[in-house]
């Protein structure tokens, strides 16, 4: 049940609003400022739209559009005016918000970053996209892991971005760190529609976790984003699905307490537990080894596909980006927002 889209909020519920934001075209600092104000206006709309709403979620690229422009003049910083405006909007309207920025990186390409801000205007979660959509996206690979935060009404929330959701390991990591709700923001266009739907549902079911996902919507004159907000229950059943209408806000109530109950009481298909306790009927506690070669190889730096040498696209030159020359450093940065700010 979605509580009629959150109209009927229960004591243990969290009401989510997924904004199918009209795809912008942002080229100049003035464009950036105007789009910042537009997002703040839609925070206000979300609050007016549904007084029970706890968290309003904006898609990836909602501030910068899909141009992949890395111009430093329109990149954002955590202490910059755009993030400050988002914090103020959440505070003014007493609502949690999830936002997307392209973050200036003095040591390389910008990061594709996501923020969750609470209803007091405090930054609660800060994430850098781990898996940019190569070869299309030029963003630096994220180096902060996958953080989780305490969200509205005692929930635990994780945030991943777009292509991240195509890797089942991403959703598994969110659940492993305690997330009951996984947000996925995106800028996807129509060719990804089927993959979008099945991964949102599979990520939920395989981890007994609510997934709440939304894309940009409409056209900027070049690209056509698809909207299609989806809120999926922990059993893989869609609770709410959006259309292709720009600026529509898809809403539903989700129940983190029922996620916790399922994780405790399910036996059959409690996959997030059984993954690390294989065959517990036969052996005490189940086998707790790591039988997966790709995991072992990834850890020791020897990940290599049997067809590795046959892969054609291994950089961004096919999309007009120069071949990179820097090695990944994975520089360590503070993971707590309070330390960063």
Query: Structural domain boundaries of the chain?
Result: 3-300+311-340
- Round to whole Å and give the CA distance between 315 and 338: 35
Alpha carbon distances (Å) from 146 to 114, 126, 127, 323, 324: 11, 9, 7, 28, 25
Q: Is 81 left (phi over 0), alpha (psi -120 to 50) or beta?
A: alpha
Whole-structure pTM value:
0.95
Q: Write out the catalytic residue numbers.
A: 60, 129, 162
Residue-level pLDDT, tens digit, the chain, 341 residues: 677 889 999 999 999 999 999 999 999 999 999 999 999 999 999 999 999 999 999 999 999 999 999 999 999 999 999 999 999 999 999 999 999 999 999 999 999 999 999 999 999 999 999 999 999 999 999 999 999 999 999 999 999 999 999 999 999 999 999 999 999 999 998 899 999 999 999 999 999 999 999 999 999 999 899 999 999 999 999 999 998 899 999 999 999 999 999 999 999 999 999 999 999 999 999 999 999 999 999 999 999 999 999 999 999 999 999 999 999 987 655 444 444 44
Handedness of CA 192, 171, 291, 134 (dihedral sign): positive
Question: For the domain 3-300+311-340, what is the CATH code?
Answer: 3.60.110.10
Contact, 256 vs 154, CB < 8 A?
yes
Is beta strand 249-254 parallel, antiparallel or unpaired with respect to 224-226?
unpaired
């209408």: which residue's tokens? 245
Give the separation between CA 270 and CA 207, rounded to whole angstroms: 8
Beta strand 123-128 with 111-117 is: antiparallel
């Amino acid at each position: 049940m979605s509580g009629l889209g959150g109209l009927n909020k229960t004591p243990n519920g969290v009401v989510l609003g997924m904004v199918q934001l009209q795809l912008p075209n942002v080229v100049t600092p003035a464009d950036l400022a105007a789009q910042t104000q537009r997002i703040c206006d839609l925070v206000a709309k979300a609050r007016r739209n549904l007084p029970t709403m706890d968290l309003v979620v904006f898609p990836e690229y909602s501030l910068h559009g899909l141009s992949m422009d890395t111009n430093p003049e329109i990149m954002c910083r955590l202490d910059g005016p755009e993030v400050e405006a988002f914090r103020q909007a959440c505070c003014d309207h007493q609502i949690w918000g999830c936002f997307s920025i392209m973050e200036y990186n003095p040591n390389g390409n910008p990061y594709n970053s996501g923020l969750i801000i609470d209803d007091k205007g405090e930054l609660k979660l800060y994430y850098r996209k781990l898996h940019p959509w190569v070869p299309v996206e030029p963003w630096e690979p994220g180096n902060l892991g996958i953080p989780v935060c305490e969200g509205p009404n005692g929930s635990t929330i994780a945030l991943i971005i777009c292509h991240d959701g195509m890797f089942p390991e991403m959703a598994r990591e969110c659940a492993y760190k305690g997330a009951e709700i996984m947000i996925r923001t995106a800028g996807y266009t129509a060719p990804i529609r089927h993959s979008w739907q099945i991964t949102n549902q599979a990520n939920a079911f395989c981890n007994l976790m609510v997934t709440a996902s939304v894309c940009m919507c409409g056209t900027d004159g070049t690209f056509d984003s698809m909207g299609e907000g989806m809120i999926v229950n922990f059993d893989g059943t869609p609770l709410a699905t959006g259309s292709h209408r720009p600026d529509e806000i898809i809403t539903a109530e989700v129940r983190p307490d029922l996620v916790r109950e399922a994780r405790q009481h399910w036996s059959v298909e409690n996959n997030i537990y059984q993954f690390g306790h294989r065959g517990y009927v036969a052996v005490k506690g189940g086998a707790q080894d790591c039988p997966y070669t790709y995991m072992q190889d990834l850890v020791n730096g020897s990940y290599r596909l049997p067809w590795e040498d046959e892969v054609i696209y291994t950089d961004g030159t096919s999309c007009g980006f120069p071949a990179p020359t820097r090695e990944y450093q994975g520089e360590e940065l503070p993971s707590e927002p309070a330390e960063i700010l």
